[in-house]
Structure 1
Amino acid sequence: MSFALLTKPQMRGHLKKHIVTASMFSLGCASLYKFGVAEPRKRAYADFYKNYDAMKMFEAMREASISESAPPKGS
């Protein structure tokens, strides 16, 4: 029986290349998330709460009888 000898795979240098590639990919994904999702979300919350009046919203819910703990005025 004769077996064909396979050449050994080249193992040196691949780990460093994969670590660099994975690091660049993860940094790219993190920055895309930060500037594509997190920053616009923070800006939207800031814009919403800039003119938000909690007491005005509470009175509107009270008048609509949405809240059970605060009966409408005059009840």
Structure 2
Amino acid sequence: MQFHIPAGVGEGMQLTVSGKGNTLGRHGGINCDLLVVIQEEKHPELERDGNDPIYNLNISIPDAILSNTTEIPTAEGRAKIK
């Protein structure tokens, strides 16, 4: 079975998939709705604040002044920032 999980869903939210649950009745009654409860898998480096990913990065004063490039984790992999 496939169903769409919209962006922004969080821990404990429920999604309803119409007509994909158990059959009501003994002899082929109607299909009930399926409830899907979201359980988030924790990211090893990112935290979540609502819909915002949070990453704490400590940089040196010289790196900040010189706008040096560094890599940070994202949900899709790593990204370089200045």
Choose 1 or 2 for highest CA Rg: 1
Bigger fraction of residues in helix: 1
Q: Provide TM-score, normalisation by structure 1.
A: 0.27
**Higher relative contact order at CA 8 Å, sep ≥6: structure 1 or structure 2?**
2
Bigger fraction of residues in strand: 2
